[in-house]
Structure 1
Amino acid sequence: MGWHDDKLGEIWALPGESLKLALPRMDRAGLQVLLVGDAERHLFGIITDGDIRRALLRGESLDVPVEQVMQAQPKVLSAGVSLDVARRLMLNHNIRHIPLVNNEHQVVDLLLWIDLFGSKVEARPEPVVIMAGGKGTRLDPFTKILPKPMIPLGDKPIVEVLMDRFYDHGFSQFILSVGYKAEVVKLYFNDSNGRPYKVSFVQEDEPLGTAGALGLLRQQLQRTFLVTNCDVIIEMNYGELLRYHHEKGNALTIVGALRDFTIPYGVLRTEAGEFHQIEEKPSFHFLVNIGLYVLEPEVLEGLENGSFIHMTDLIMAAKDKGLRVGVYPHHGRWFDIGQWDEYRQTLRAFEGLV
């Protein structure tokens, strides 16, 4: 029986290949793993999401060869092994991927956790606060008619697509912070339409900034919770994000996504005013704030009802109080639908997916 042998070519990387070149293939394959080895598929190492996250937190460049990031000598099993043996190996060593090799130690297939333990999603108790009250001026003139969260993506509004994706990961409690054209959003969601999750609202009578609505929710948010902008859809493992948040003892975790920026010019390098070299269209990589956070209730202490505050100021206030603020690097796909170019690209990406 073949498991994922048809995708081995997509997730295979040669040792000297740069992480920058290999990562897009890893994302497209959707298996959260890269296998590193020679052209004959002899295995040298494995790279998982966690390895990449640790490399980014260390400040590694994406230009490093994959062999500097990989786990050498990963756990493997022989092709045709009993699935009970594979299950025990995964459980005993807390691993999610097992390459299957032949007698010459060449990879012939790959086993994933989901193959052996199924795709049942754990129900998550954490509420998700969705900031949906802004005017969405970057999407004018669309938002003169519809509030930003109600802009369609496929046959559903953006915010419903967002909630459906969270629900697929076990979340079922959503709080929408509404303001601009709030009656349109409330009318749509007050018709439950058989949705399997609960939607409630907090009303901003006047703009309170990107985090001010949280001051109105202090009594409701008595446990770990998530905050997200309504115009960002992220393909990620939210359970892993929460595990990381608690493991690090963070009071606030910011999700930072990897973004590649290319300068469309030749950049002049000079030394002491004299020409040194031209670097043609250089690329730079940054972890950018995409508007998804995990918070503990203590972050909201001192936040007054109706007070105006942006999320950036709330983050700095938490840090100034001595609370632990961390960053969770995300390198997978994400969609920022808050401006026209991104919205059009997202529509193309979601054709047939929504």
Structure 2
Amino acid sequence: MILAGGRGERLRPFTDDRPKAMVPIAGKPLLAYQIDSLRRCGLTDILLVTGYRGEQIASFFGDGSRLGVRLEYFVEREPLGTAGALVRLRADLPEQILVLYGDLMLDADLSRFVAFHRGHSGSCSIVVHPNGHPADSDVVVLDARDMVRDILRKNVPRSQPYFNRVSAGLVLLDRTALTNLPEDRPLDLESDVLVPAMVAGSLYGYRTPEYIKDMGTHDRLAQVERDVVNGLVERRNLAHPQRAVFLDRDGTINDHVGFLVRPEQLRVRDEVYEALELLNRSDYLAIVVSNQPVIARNLCSIEQLNAIHCRLESMLGERHVYLDDLFYCPHHEHAGFPGENKAYKIVCECRKPKTGMVRDAARRYGIDLSASYLIGDTTVDVQTGKNSGVRTILLSTGEGGRDGKYPARPDAQADDLLQAVTQVLAAAGMRQ
């Protein structure tokens, strides 16, 4: 089900004479991109919910046969909210329904999302991802099992830092999630369906770095069109091999302060914001891989480390940049010290220079390591990159390679992260 009834007030004058879903992008209506993406994933039975100037949609797409899909229509004579059509039609719906908001440009391997939903016990699943404007987006709070614990509504002041995991506008739900909802009033998909599922412990969040962006403002529309034209939208689909820049944390993203154990110690380096902006606009995923032995040393708890990373992602989000994911190793193999956390004093496969974190990221996102980089400030980072089969850049920031733990030589050196990212993009022939 595609919710294509929106008027798109913020996109006027483009929407003065057409619905938002019919705004052209590189010569093709936005809705056509959505239908193409669904068809490529084998999702060919599509219901379009239309409203404002919906006759244009029906006239353009017809029954969908020329696009290789089967289209049906539900016309809202009066606004029913984002869940009203679902409830009115629930008796005729299949057991599971994928719902998309009609202002999304996306190219995603939705079969992964379907598999995620079916692999969990919830009645609803939502797609979440990082974006460059989390303050005006609904932020989803997940636990370690990807169960949704809270939804921080957009444009509502937030008293605490948060992970940049934003609701992307795609929902997969079981028909049973619509039981007992009234048909005599407009309904909101989030408030009336997702929040009750969350309270019942039946809502999960599927994380992906794929290209899913709303084009509801003039600036976002222009950026989406540029990304379509240069092929970025298609290349970010996880059905294709991905590239990544793996980043160390301390001394690379934030100032090196020894053992960082409190959020207030975190200071993001000035050049990092511009470096991440370049990565976010590129083909490369930005993924942190960080040793955090503060857990094993019992200097910091997992909860406190999460608070540090929440502060990091909130600070980045305030400057409209983000990390695609963050992996850390809490272990340390040398035991026998007073006060240590013995549960984490083990020999593991994730502590750099071992490759566990890099390999986990590669499996999750289909990353081609031969086309990827690791950037850090220590010889441990360089050796990790060599062990993982990625190219390496050693920074002069932080320890600047002075740790001297490994003899591995980097493929390149840079003064800071911005210079390193500029080198990566230049080598790939990407415009900056």
Q: TM-score range by the shorter chain?
A: 0.5 to 0.7
SS in 2 for 1:305: coil
Structure 1 segment 49-88 matched on structure 2, within 5 A:
none
1:338 to 195, 198, 216: 216
1:315 to 186, 189, 194: 194
**How many angstroms apart in 2 are the aligned matches of 1:329 and 1:191?**
33
- Indicate if the aligned counterparts of 2:123 and 2:173 stay in contact, CA closer than 8 A: yes
Give, in angstroms, the shift of residue 286 of structure 1.
0.8
Q: Give per-residue Cα distances to partners, 1:183-240, cap 9 Å, x unaligned.
A: 1111112265622110111111111112211112202213111000011133332111
Task: Determine if the alignment matches structure 1 residue 253 to structure 2 residue 132.
Answer: no
Structure 1 segment 147-186 matched on structure 2, within 5 A:
147-186=19-58
Q: Which runs of 5+ in 2 are unaligned?
A: 136-160, 235-432
Structure 1 segment 11-160 matched on structure 2, within 5 A:
129-160=1-32
Cα 1:194–1:331 change in 2 (3 A) is closer
Give, in angstroms, the shift of residue 318 of structure 1.
2.9
SS in 1 for 2:121: coil
**How many angstroms apart in 2 are the aligned matches of 1:291 and 1:325?**
14
Structure 1 segment 255-270 matched on structure 2, within 5 A:
255-260=127-132
Q: Which residue of 1 aligns with 2:87?
A: 215
Task: Determine if the alignment matches structure 1 residue 188 to structure 2 residue 67.
Answer: no
Give, in angstroms, the shift of residue 260 of structure 1.
4.2
Q: Which residue of 2 aligns with 1:232?
A: 104
Structure 1 segment 285-300 matched on structure 2, within 5 A:
285-300=163-178
Matched AA of 1:140 = R
- Identity in percent: 27
Matched AA of 2:8 = G
Matched AA of 2:194 = I
Matched AA of 1:226 = L
SS in 1 for 2:127: strand
**How many angstroms apart in 2 are the aligned matches of 1:165 and 1:317?**
30
- Indicate if the aligned counterparts of 2:63 and 2:71 stay in contact, CA closer than 8 A: no
SS in 1 for 2:67: coil
Aligned residues: 206
Give, in angstroms, the shift of residue 262 of structure 1.
9.5
- Indicate if the aligned counterparts of 2:33 and 2:106 stay in contact, CA closer than 8 A: no
Q: What TM-score, normalized to structure 1?
A: 0.54
Cα 1:196–1:285 change in 2 (3 A) is same
Give, in angstroms, the shift of residue 335 of structure 1.
2.2
Matched AA of 1:325 = L
**How many angstroms apart in 1 are the aligned matches of 2:32 and 2:70?**
12
Matched AA of 2:196 = A
**How many angstroms apart in 1 are the aligned matches of 2:83 and 2:134?**
31
Give, in angstroms, the shift of residue 261 of structure 1.
5.3
Structure (1/2) with the larger strand percentage: 1
Matched AA of 1:231 = D
Q: What TM-score, normalized to structure 2?
A: 0.45
**How many angstroms apart in 2 are the aligned matches of 1:331 and 1:351?**
19
Cα 1:193–1:244 change in 2 (3 A) is closer
Matched AA of 1:312 = E
- Indicate if the aligned counterparts of 2:129 and 2:168 stay in contact, CA closer than 8 A: yes
Q: Which runs of 5+ in 1 are unaligned?
A: 1-128, 264-282
Q: Give per-residue Cα distances to partners, 1:52-97, cap 9 Å, x unaligned.
A: xxxxxxxxxxxxxxxxxxxxxxxxxxxxxxxxxxxxxxxxxxxxxx
Give, in angstroms, the shift of residue 306 of structure 1.
4.8
Q: Give per-residue Cα distances to partners, 1:246-268, cap 9 Å, x unaligned.
A: 111120001111124599xxxxx
Give, in angstroms, the shift of residue 131 of structure 1.
0.3
Q: Give per-residue Cα distances to partners, 1:33-59, cap 9 Å, x unaligned.
A: xxxxxxxxxxxxxxxxxxxxxxxxxxx
- Indicate if the aligned counterparts of 1:260 and 1:284 stay in contact, CA closer than 8 A: no
Q: Which residue of 1 aligns with 2:327?
A: none
SS in 1 for 2:168: strand
**How many angstroms apart in 1 are the aligned matches of 2:118 and 2:134?**
35
- Indicate if the aligned counterparts of 1:215 and 1:306 stay in contact, CA closer than 8 A: no
- Indicate if the aligned counterparts of 1:177 and 1:204 stay in contact, CA closer than 8 A: yes
The CA RMSD measured in Å over matched residues stands at 2.3
- Indicate if the aligned counterparts of 1:261 and 1:284 stay in contact, CA closer than 8 A: no
Matched AA of 1:185 = I
Q: Which residue of 1 aligns with 2:114?
A: 242
Give, in angstroms, the shift of residue 154 of structure 1.
2.0
